[in-house]
């Protein structure tokens, strides 16, 4: 809606600047990008743990003295 400037006149009429919307959009895009990086990192960690679990059963167990 912001790109089409729908309802923007209501906010600018109350004292907001159009630049505030642009900055907020940029901040939101940065935040989404940061969360996606965290999601990808945790997905990679989960994959590594699954592989560790698969090989755990195949390793010979040491006998306790």
CATH number of the structural domain spanning residue 7: 1.10.287.600
Q: Does a structural domain hold residue 26?
A: yes
- Name the burial class of residue 49, with classes exposed (0-12), middle (13-18) and buried (19+) by CB atoms within 10 angstroms of its CB: exposed
The closest of 38, 40, 8 to 24, measured between CA atoms, is 8
Residue written as token pair 């560790």: 52
pLDDT, one tens digit per residue, over 44-53 is 777 666 666 6
pLDDT of amino acid 62: 62
**Model confidence at 57: pLDDT above 80:** no
How do residues 2-38 score in pLDDT, each as one tens digit?
778 889 999 999 999 999 999 999 999 999 999 999 9
The model's pTM is 0.59
Residue 23: give the domain boundaries: 2-37
Angstrom distances, CA of residue 36 to CA of 9, 29, 39, 63: 33, 11, 5, 44
- pLDDT of res. 26: 97
């Amino acid at each position: 809606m912001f790109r089409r400037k729908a309802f923007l006149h209501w906010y600018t009429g109350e004292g907001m600047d159009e630049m505030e919307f642009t900055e907020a959009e940029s901040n939101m895009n940065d935040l989404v990008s940061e969360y996606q990086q965290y999601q990808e990192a945790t997905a990679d960690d989960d994959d590594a743990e699954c592989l560790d679990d698969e090989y755990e059963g195949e390793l010979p167990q040491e006998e306790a003295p």
